[in-house]
Structure 1
Amino acid sequence: MTHKYTNALIDETSPYLLQHAHNPVNWEAWHPEVLARAKDENKPILISIGYAACHWCHVMEDECFEDDEVAKLMNENFINIKIDREERPDVDQIYMDALQMMTGNGGWPLNIIALPDGRPFWGATYLPKEDWLKSLNQLTKLFKENPDKIIEYASDLERGIQSINLVENKTDASQYTLEEINHSVENWSSYFDTYLGGYKSAPKFMMPNNLDFLLHYATSQDDKEVLEYVNTTLTRMAYGGVFDQVGGGFSRYSVDTKWHVPHFEKMLYDNGQLISLYSKAYAATKNPLYKTITEKTIAFAQEELSDKSSGYYSSLDADSLNEAGELQEGAYYVWSKEELIRLLKSDFEIFKDYFNINSYGEWEENYVLIRDKPDFEIAEKHEVSIDELNEKITNSLSILKETRQDRTKPRLDDKILTSWNGLMLKGLVDAYRYLQNDNYLKLALNNASFIEQEMIRSSGGLYRNHKNGQSNINGFLEDYASTIEAFIGLYEVTFDMKWLNHAKELTDYALTHFNDDISGMLFFTSDEDESLIRRTLETNDNVVSGSNSIMANNLLKLHKVFSNEGYGKRAHQMLKNIQVNFTENGQSFSNWMHLALFENLNFYEIAVVGDDYKNIGKEILSHYIPNSILVGSQKEGDIDLLKSRYNEGETLVYVCIEGTCKLPVTSASQAINQL
């Protein structure tokens, strides 16, 4: 296919950047030589940030960046840089903070105008063509006629960007207490939607780390109300259109309060975390729905996001071609009533009640499948057994899935990101741990081997990105954090020291190259990368937990195994630096609050030594025990917890706290009782 225009993005690997490679805009990627040219030519930089699955990014491309008039204005007056936010979250974080300071809002596409040195002075998200042209003309005139005013504003904004990123090293802070944790959850609970789950607002995001902590809190404190809220949320999410009832897997969020109509893009980071969450919830409650959702989500990831290398792709787009050949959000996933009647025939009546082919499930003259009743209610109404109902629903969904294969699939972002693969690896590890399905361990080991072989650099650090057989971009702290967390979990289910050693080596590398001497926290970028206008300290837990909170939890667990390395002291100080935020804003620091619980309650080191260590370890792991780490070996092990523990002819289990152990027992059930 021939194209009228081709720009410098044609040499990139990011699917998002390649989508813009034939725009008439002279786009370039974020490279030092491009930034240097902006200074040499004294041109402002137009920075446009998005990602492949972003609906409004596509709309703005169609309306603005493919337009010759717009391109002429941009090319004559700006150095134009396109950024895939998933490849370069370090750049995205800074300019998103700038946009929110300037406008009070954020989102993508994120469009920034900056001085030649990269300091921003204007920003907006999606703008239609006429508004975009008007803004660029005004900014061009201002830059040429009154540059001092722009420089003054950019300097003030730079100071603001720096100041919101400061973390104080609070050496005199006392430990956050259990009473304070209870108060934080009480404040937090005022936002709970106890009927539909999630929070009392729309759109609704799944927020796996929020639910993960609340599950931990509810089970440790025997808080039945919080546990009921978690179960309500998990059930409503699983029943909703935000979960793809036909093909499995979760979309990013729902636009309404009942989890019905999603923004249809599917992201690896959501699905990896939700596999972990539903696996843990199954272990804690034995609700079979949670097991089913875990299984279907893994099946989706294998079918749609798995590369032959055993790495996992980043996302599926929200948009796909409809019957008219036009890109339309959700076209791949929705159904007309007439189509369902034709396909399902005599089973349509049951299916209609099960998935609300009525006003409750209707959306823009089509239907997004949503449940609102448990199986037994539908079975009673139609006078069938639960088994018969499940058989009919399973058969109907199979028919729809087969039919859907003939539709044009959403576009795939096939870059492989280390941090998101770490989240998926952790999901597979937890699914194996709690569902005891050996195939999930096989998938986990394959993915871990991919990370080991393709994403660990010869220097001992990590790459960020993998595409077309090549790995590039130095890893960010989130890449280290999620990979270390997954490797610790993989060690627990295999007892293979290779994974624990990898976790320790990556931790030591991160502590060396990401360290902030002033705050005691870890920077998002390493000291090996080019300088930006700020080295970010990522502390808040958002849809994905913040990289510092994951690292702090990793450090605590590694301390339990490598007690002489100072990891525990570092984790404790990081927690003290952040805990001032917990009482009034627990939901934004939920992954940190695991640490607060660990410090207030017992955290157990469990060691299994003897010939039957794998079987006993596997049985222990099937229980939901978030406040523990498990180590094991057949005889003497290489770590302190496994030394002088072997007794020939027996398999012994030691339950310890900070290396001090109770009397050894000989079965998993006895060990569980000691907890």
Structure 2
Amino acid sequence: MTNRLADSLSPYLRQHADNPVDWQEWGPAALQEAADRDVPILLSVGYAACHWCHVMAHESFEDAQVAAAINASFVAIKVDREERPDIDAAYMTATTAMTGQGGWPMTCLLTPDGKPFFAGTYLPKPQFLQLLSAAAHAWDNQREEVLTSGKHIATQLAEAATRGTAIAITGDVTAAAVTTLRRSYDERHGGFGGAPKFPPSMVLEFLLRHHARTGDRNALTMAEHTCEAMARGGIYDQLAGGFARYAVDGSWTVPHFEKMLYDNAQLLRVYAHLWRVDQSPLAARIASETAQFIIRDLGTTEGCFASALDADTEGVEGATYVWSPDELREVLGAEDGSRAAALLEVTPDGTFERGTSTLQLLQDPEDETWWESVRAALLARRARRPQPARDDKVVTSWNGLAISALAEAAMILRETSWLDAAVTAADFLLDRHVVDGRLRRTSLAGRVGAAYGVADDYGNFGAALLVLHQATGESRYLAAAQELLTTAQDLFADESGGFRDAAADGEQLFFTPRGAGDNAEPSGTSSLAEALLALSALTGGTTARDRAETGLAAMGEIVSQAPRFAGWGLAVAEAVLAGPAQVAVVGEDRASRGLARTAWTAPSAGTVIVHGTPDSGSSPLLADRSLVGGRAAAYVCHGFVCRMPVTERDELLAELATR
């Protein structure tokens, strides 16, 4: 056999197209080949921006000795976890259950029918060769034990996947979640827990919404402190904007340098929402720079957004981004170089490796003009260095997150180009990623992949279309969202009341994972709950709201026990508890635009906003609502209770602040 990855639409799989390993993509043909040859499957799962995936590739998959051992005794299958999150989730659940930890690259050995009998992560070449030899021997000489082990693992995982008890997420539950979060809060550096430390994007959104609804200062303090610490740390690119995946330390100093679209999209929204609360220049700057990073560095020729920038540059992690004091002096001159080193925490010993440092901006520079010239000079020099590779794959779910964030930030910070970018991306997804009424998960260079969308693709893109409906006033986005969310309810309904991650009519794996909480991005259940709640608020329909609340209740157990891993579920619950507020601004003049801007910039626990005229037909919320005494007016409702219309900005703020 030969390596069959060259024509894949996944950049990660194509990275392995020249390996001597006879890789192929996951599919019926690969499983059938394992059955026909009567050999086990070697399943390797990773993603293009993953540092240790590259290390294992160089050490093992590019090695002739390892390739010979794999090809002789296994069918080798490569999976891009971002393209097939269903496969990744199933086998990651097995890996975590069998080893106590998970991560990528993920290495599993399977029976020909897909049941795992070994699972692990990164393996150095000597250990990997030992595993291959031992597994081949066991398959030939202890077949029944191997098959029994695989069957037992599958049975145990299926039994453990049963949903917990549904618990309604009340105001008492969200208040208790804030108290629980406080216990693990890092008072010194912000964030939760120790190293490695990930940006808690969804938890921050929950804290901001909880403060907007209740006025809880503890919630706001944790959000503000964490946002400032991340923005000033090495995890944030102080020159070009954008956040790295996580910090390997507890102080946000040393990042794992990959930059993911889903992280930056969620953080863009958080900083824009933080600005609504405190009007801080820092929040506005970080939101603006992050939006520019997404559009400039992740924008594709089709108008969507690429998945990630790699952690490595020519095999060296962080090589594009780190500096030494001598390098700063070389670029800026002796005086400015020393001054910049002191400002950016670039030390002789280094904060990273080999005497180099990440850049931190722990305090604002006194001379902003000087800093901008320094920043421009360092960016110009950095642009001459080798650059990290980019995963150009367009993921529906992550683009949905980016569309929502860009559209909301555009309305909050008054930057129309961000809204234009969001519209372009959404129109591409509607045109290419919706095939025969079903969402596809990915595309590359305009070619759509075969994998169907999972629950969070429908949830995050559906929610994005509803944000665009509010921001543009175009009814076509509302109609498209309604169609997708109706389909999603049929495809992903779960007997627990929540949503399964993969479609009921999709490929049946050895076990169907049911994500109980949020991870690095919203779960299928919480993302669909968000979209359905917004749909209900924008149309007045109660069925979608009931479905959203039932879905959230299915997350109630993890919300109560581990709120750090249910941040988006909690954020959506805050919107439910707040109504959510519905604002219909009637009019087409300057006064009506002022009222609409007031609504967009007011602190919010999930408010929906429409602006137009009653006869436009653009939104059900505008129907039968007229001007007041010939003047533009804002109609505010909370849930199913409406107030008298208001015509003044201060009156609207007072209505929105009512708890």
* Further displaced range: 543-552 or 181-190: 181-190
| Matched residue, 1:513 | 491
| Matched residue, 1:287 | 280
Any idea what SS the aligned residue of 1:155 has? Answer: helix
1:205-228, Cα deviation, whole Å (9 max, x unpaired):
102001111121233322223322
Identity %: 33
How far apart, CA to CA, are the structure 2 residues paired with 1:594 and 1:294?
A: 19
How far apart, CA to CA, are the structure 1 residues paired with 2:520 and 2:437?
A: 29
How far apart, CA to CA, are the structure 1 residues paired with 2:417 and 2:650?
A: 25
1:35-93, Cα deviation, whole Å (9 max, x unpaired):
12222222111100011111111111111111111111111111100111111111000
* Further displaced range: 214-223 or 636-645: 636-645
Cα distance change of structure 1 residues 641 and 210 upon mapping to structure 2, 3 Å threshold: same
Any idea what SS the aligned residue of 1:299 has? Answer: helix
How far apart, CA to CA, are the structure 2 residues paired with 1:635 and 1:566?
A: 24
1:461-489, Cα deviation, whole Å (9 max, x unpaired):
21111113211221111111110111111
* Further displaced range: 116-125 or 485-494: 485-494
2:550 aligned with 1:570, yes or no? Answer: no
Aligned pair partner of 2:345 in 356, 362, 374: 356
**Cα shift at 1:440:** 1.3
**Cα shift at 1:7:** 1.3
Cα distance change of structure 1 residues 549 and 344 upon mapping to structure 2, 3 Å threshold: same
| Matched residue, 1:385 | none
Aligned pair partner of 2:331 in 313, 334, 343: 343
| Matched residue, 2:185 | 192
| Matched residue, 1:406 | 384
| Matched residue, 1:273 | 266
Cα distance change of structure 1 residues 54 and 369 upon mapping to structure 2, 3 Å threshold: closer
Any idea what SS the aligned residue of 1:343 has? Answer: helix
How far apart, CA to CA, are the structure 2 residues paired with 1:521 and 1:364?
A: 46
| Matched residue, 1:436 | 414
Any idea what SS the aligned residue of 2:29 has? Answer: helix
AA in 1 matched with 2:437: G
Contact 2:324 2:350 in 1 (8 A): no
| Matched residue, 1:296 | 289
* Alignment of structure 1 residues 496-645 onto 2, 5 Å: 496-516=474-494, 518-564=495-541, 566-612=543-589, 613-636=592-615, 637=617, 639-645=619-625
Any idea what SS the aligned residue of 2:6 has? Answer: helix
Cα distance change of structure 1 residues 55 and 513 upon mapping to structure 2, 3 Å threshold: same
How far apart, CA to CA, are the structure 2 residues paired with 1:39 and 1:363?
A: 48
* Further displaced range: 359-368 or 621-630: 359-368
1:266-291, Cα deviation, whole Å (9 max, x unpaired):
11111111111111111111111111
Cα distance change of structure 1 residues 136 and 270 upon mapping to structure 2, 3 Å threshold: same
**Cα shift at 1:399:** 0.4
Contact 2:83 2:441 in 1 (8 A): yes
How far apart, CA to CA, are the structure 2 residues paired with 1:555 and 1:359?
A: 54
1:243-264, Cα deviation, whole Å (9 max, x unpaired):
1111211110111111111111
2:103 aligned with 1:103, yes or no? Answer: no
How far apart, CA to CA, are the structure 2 residues paired with 1:527 and 1:131?
A: 39
Contact 2:614 2:626 in 1 (8 A): yes
| Matched residue, 1:78 | 74
Aligned pair partner of 2:441 in 447, 450, 464: 464
Cα distance change of structure 1 residues 264 and 206 upon mapping to structure 2, 3 Å threshold: same
**CA RMSD between the two structures:** 1.9
How far apart, CA to CA, are the structure 1 residues paired with 2:254 and 2:165?
A: 44
| Matched residue, 1:386 | none
| Matched residue, 2:28 | 32
Aligned pair partner of 2:637 in 631, 651, 656: 656
Aligned pair partner of 1:231 in 224, 231, 253: 224
* Alignment of structure 1 residues 53-92 onto 2, 5 Å: 53-92=49-88
How far apart, CA to CA, are the structure 2 residues paired with 1:200 and 1:354?
A: 28
* Further displaced range: 181-190 or 13-22: 181-190
Any idea what SS the aligned residue of 2:631 has? Answer: coil
Aligned pair partner of 1:452 in 430, 438, 442: 430
Any idea what SS the aligned residue of 1:520 has? Answer: coil
Which 4+ residue blocks in structure 1 deviate beyond 6 angstroms?
none
Any idea what SS the aligned residue of 2:24 has? Answer: coil
| Matched residue, 1:332 | 320
Q: TM-score, normalised by structure 1?
A: 0.93
| Matched residue, 1:324 | none
**Cα shift at 1:164:** 3.0
Aligned pair partner of 1:207 in 200, 203, 213: 200
Contact 1:90 1:524 in 2 (8 A): yes
Contact 2:473 2:619 in 1 (8 A): no
How far apart, CA to CA, are the structure 1 residues paired with 2:239 and 2:577?
A: 43
Contact 1:492 1:629 in 2 (8 A): yes
Aligned pair partner of 2:626 in 635, 646, 653: 646
How far apart, CA to CA, are the structure 2 residues paired with 1:441 and 1:639?
A: 19
Q: TM-score, normalised by structure 2?
A: 0.95
Any idea what SS the aligned residue of 1:304 has? Answer: helix
Contact 1:617 1:668 in 2 (8 A): no
Cα distance change of structure 1 residues 296 and 611 upon mapping to structure 2, 3 Å threshold: closer
1:355-405, Cα deviation, whole Å (9 max, x unpaired):
112268632243334446433xx63xxxxxxxxx11111111110110111
Any idea what SS the aligned residue of 2:560 has? Answer: coil
Q: What are the ranges of 5 or more consecutive residues in structure 2 without an aligned counterpart?
A: none
Any idea what SS the aligned residue of 1:474 has? Answer: coil
Contact 1:6 1:23 in 2 (8 A): no
**Cα shift at 1:599:** 4.0
Q: Count residues with an aligned counterpart.
A: 650
| Matched residue, 1:672 | 653
AA in 2 matched with 1:541: D
Cα distance change of structure 1 residues 554 and 360 upon mapping to structure 2, 3 Å threshold: farther
Q: What are the ranges of 5 or more consecutive residues in structure 1 without an aligned counterpart?
A: 322-326, 380-388
How far apart, CA to CA, are the structure 2 residues paired with 1:67 and 1:647?
A: 73
Contact 2:242 2:293 in 1 (8 A): yes
**Cα shift at 1:354:** 1.3
AA in 1 matched with 2:463: E
* Alignment of structure 1 residues 127-276 onto 2, 5 Å: 127-167=123-163, 170=166, 175-276=168-269
Contact 2:347 2:357 in 1 (8 A): no
How far apart, CA to CA, are the structure 2 residues paired with 1:520 and 1:501?
A: 25
| Matched residue, 1:419 | 397
1:6-57, Cα deviation, whole Å (9 max, x unpaired):
6111121211111111111100001211112222222111100011111111
Cα distance change of structure 1 residues 195 and 444 upon mapping to structure 2, 3 Å threshold: same
How far apart, CA to CA, are the structure 1 residues paired with 2:352 and 2:467?
A: 41
1:310-344, Cα deviation, whole Å (9 max, x unpaired):
111111111113xxxxx211111111211111211
Cα distance change of structure 1 residues 370 and 406 upon mapping to structure 2, 3 Å threshold: closer
Contact 1:521 1:537 in 2 (8 A): no
How far apart, CA to CA, are the structure 1 residues paired with 2:176 and 2:369?
A: 46
Cα distance change of structure 1 residues 469 and 577 upon mapping to structure 2, 3 Å threshold: closer
| Matched residue, 1:382 | none
How far apart, CA to CA, are the structure 2 residues paired with 1:294 and 1:628?
A: 20
* Further displaced range: 556-565 or 235-244: 556-565
How far apart, CA to CA, are the structure 1 residues paired with 2:347 and 2:51?
A: 28
2:302 aligned with 1:309, yes or no? Answer: yes
How far apart, CA to CA, are the structure 1 residues paired with 2:576 and 2:602?
A: 21
AA in 1 matched with 2:602: H
Cα distance change of structure 1 residues 356 and 422 upon mapping to structure 2, 3 Å threshold: same
**Cα shift at 1:446:** 1.4
How far apart, CA to CA, are the structure 2 residues paired with 1:125 and 1:592?
A: 29
How far apart, CA to CA, are the structure 2 residues paired with 1:222 and 1:663?
A: 24
How far apart, CA to CA, are the structure 1 residues paired with 2:123 and 2:117?
A: 17
How far apart, CA to CA, are the structure 1 residues paired with 2:460 and 2:147?
A: 39
AA in 2 matched with 1:342: E
